[in-house]
């Protein structure tokens, strides 16, 4: 596949409507802070030999009854910059590994990264005008005030397409015995992101990291549900790096590469100000305990060549094969396994009132380890759950039909044009959004029903 796939696909899909714009969805937090997502369970190496390891991934969702024990930092003093799962993350990365235990013996290992919270500047200087994503010797990374972890997406409701534009998140984990606290704090970015926070470049693995997917309206069980869209096949590659200043990784990004194709849901707040009730509306359940083996034996480019320029995906390490049952998390048991009910009862209450969209994404993936860490290899079971929310009309002014920054009589003719000929309106006002600027009553369409609310905007500013 050509490295230009993302660019050409994005142009084809997103030139249909000029009103489509990039939207930042901030990773939600606030559930089960400092706790694992699941009760500890034993997972034995298959075929062995070895000893069982304890996995605390559970149903891979925060806020359910299957919550685990406190996530304690396991590394050497001092304590990490951020305590493990300090913010109560709903978004998490899962990574399967194996611990050598003498001779041929292995102990299964599950690494969990808790994503969300303020972004990091690794050069420790908030006033220098540069945000570094690689450690600077002698400098302590800092949290950036007023920032938040996010995934940047675009949804084209006309073309029924989704695009991934950026990913920028802080993460925490339990660390590792014998190692310092810098391993317990991470950053996660979309592949191709520059070390000084330059925007993501073209995908290095375009067959996986397509950055485009599809949308499909979901009308629910009775056919009357609106504002709910199924997301499918949104290809991604995320790069994970620690804040450790180490010659083993150098001044590069992409120590760990997570690849996959997200599926999930985009849910819009309704005209009445509430999100639709999703319980019993046929959203199904989560992926788990799925184990994705579709890429076994396939070769991918590495983010940097310290351990080679390519890597081939395996099913595990010797006597510890990750295809065995129990390695893909547990099925959702709460709410009868209904993901829609989970969103209603856990996600919606944690969504800010300013947000008009919720995004739920999940994938069973595969990954590459470019460090010399012997516990994780180039294998399957690099999985992800991303739950975020945002204001898709941020930056737009309702009723400002000509997008000049003011609501006044000069917006009358543009509104008339938007009602009578949407395509002509978008061509004349490419910086405007039909949904955000001219759908005045918020019913999902620009039409004559928006005239009276528009008059109110003019007369009652």
Are residues 88 and 51 part of one domain?
yes
Domain contains 213: yes
Are residues 386 and 420 part of one domain?
no
Are residues 223 and 266 part of one domain?
yes
Are residues 424 and 348 part of one domain?
no
Which of 355, 390, 425 is where one domain is finished? 390
Which of 390, 419, 442 is where one domain is finished? 390
Confidence of residue 18 (pLDDT cuts 50, 70, 90): very low
Confidence of residue 443 (pLDDT cuts 50, 70, 90): confident
Q: Is the pLDDT of residue 14 over 90?
A: no
Looking at the structure of the chain, the number of domains it has is 2
Task: Say whether the peptide bond before residue 49 is cis (omega within 30 degrees of 0).
Answer: yes
pLDDT of residue 85: 99
Rounded Cα–Cα distance for residues 435 and 19 (Å)? 8
Residues with Cβ within 8 Å of residue 272, at least 6 apart in sequence: none
Are residues 239 and 349 part of one domain?
yes
Domain contains 400: no
pLDDT of residue 219: 98
Domain contains 44: yes
Rounded Cα–Cα distance for residues 83 and 87 (Å)? 9
Domain contains 263: yes
pTM of the model: 0.90
pLDDT tens-digit map of 386-422: 999 998 887 789 899 999 999 999 999 999 999 999 9
Confidence of residue 271 (pLDDT cuts 50, 70, 90): confident
Which of 235, 250, 248 lies closest to 191 in space, CA to CA? 235
Domain contains 404: no
pLDDT of residue 246: 74
Domain contains 395: no
pLDDT of residue 4: 35
Domain that holds residue 449: 409-459
Contact 172, 80 (CB under 8 A): yes
Are residues 440 and 311 part of one domain?
no
pLDDT, mean of residues 367-375: 93
pLDDT tens-digit map of 186-235: 999 999 999 999 999 999 999 999 999 999 999 999 999 999 999 999 99
Are residues 136 and 279 part of one domain?
yes
Are residues 248 and 139 part of one domain?
yes
Domain contains 322: yes
Domain contains 284: yes
Are residues 250 and 215 part of one domain?
yes
Q: Is the pLDDT of residue 34 over 90?
A: yes
Confidence of residue 141 (pLDDT cuts 50, 70, 90): very high
DSSP string over 148-206: --EEEEEEETTTTEEEEEEEEEEEE----TTS-GGGGEEEEEETT--TT-PPP-S-SST
- And the tokens for 273? 């100000």
Average pLDDT, the chain: 93
Rounded Cα–Cα distance for residues 94 and 258 (Å)? 10
Which of 329, 357, 390 is where one domain is finished? 390
Are residues 219 and 177 part of one domain?
yes
Confidence of residue 7 (pLDDT cuts 50, 70, 90): very low
Confidence of residue 184 (pLDDT cuts 50, 70, 90): very high
């Amino acid at each position: 596949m050509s490295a230009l796939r993302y660019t050409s696909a994005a142009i084809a899909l997103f030139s249909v409507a000029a009103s489509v714009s990039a939207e930042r969805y901030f990773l939600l937090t606030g559930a089960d802070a400092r706790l694992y997502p699941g009760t500890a369970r034993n997972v034995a190496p298959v075929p062995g030999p070895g000893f069982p390891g304890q996995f605390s991934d559970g149903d891979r969702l925060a806020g359910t009854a299957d919550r685990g024990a406190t996530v304690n930092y396991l590394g050497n003093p001092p304590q990490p910059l951020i305590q493990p799962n300090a913010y109560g993350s709903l978004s998490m990365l899962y990574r399967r590994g194996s611990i050598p235990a003498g001779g041929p013996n292995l102990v299964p290992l599950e690494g969990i990264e808790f994503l969300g919270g303020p972004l990091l500047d690794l050069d420790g200087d908030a006033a220098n005008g540069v945000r570094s994503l690689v450690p600077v010797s002698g400098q302590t990374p800092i949290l950036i005030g007023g920032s938040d972890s996010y995934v940047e997406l675009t949804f084209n409701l006309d073309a029924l397409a989704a695009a991934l534009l950026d990913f920028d998140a802080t993460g925490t984990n339990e660390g590792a015995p014998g190692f310092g606290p810098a391993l317990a704090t991470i950053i996660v970015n979309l592949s191709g992101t520059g070390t000084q926070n330059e925007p993501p470049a073209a995908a290095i693995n375009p067959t996986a990291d397509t950055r485009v997917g599809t949308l499909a309206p979901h009308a629910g069980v009775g056919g009357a549900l609106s504002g709910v869209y199924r997301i499918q096949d949104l290809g991604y590659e995320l790069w994970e790096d620690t804040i450790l200043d180490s010659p083993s990784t150098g001044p590069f990004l992409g120590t760990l590469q997570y690849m996959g194709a997200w599926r999930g849901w985009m849910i819009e707040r309704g005209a009445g100000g509430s999100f639709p009730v999703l319980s019993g509306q046929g959203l199904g359940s989560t992926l788990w305990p799925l184990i994705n083996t579709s890429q076994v034996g396939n070769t991918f480019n590495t983010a940097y060549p310290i351990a080679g320029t390519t890597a081939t995906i395996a099913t595990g390490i010797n006597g510890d094969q990750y295809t065995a049952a129990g390695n893909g998390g547990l099925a959702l048991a709460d709410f009868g396994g209904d993901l829609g009910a989970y969103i209603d009862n856990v996600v919606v209450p944690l969504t800010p009132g300013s947000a008009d969209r919720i995004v739920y994404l999940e994938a069973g993936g595969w990954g590459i380890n470019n460090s010399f860490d012997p516990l994780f290899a180039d294998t399957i079971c690099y999985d992800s759950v991303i739950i975020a929310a945002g204001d898709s009309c941020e930056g737009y002014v309702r009723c400002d039909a000509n997008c000049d920054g003011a609501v006044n009589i000069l917006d009358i003719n543009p509104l008339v044009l938007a009602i009578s000929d949407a395509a002509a309106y978008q061509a004349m006002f490419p910086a405007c959004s039909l949904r955000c600027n001219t759908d005045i009553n918020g019913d999902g369409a620009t039409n004559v029903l928006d005239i009276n609310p528009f008059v109110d905007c003019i007369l009652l500013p």
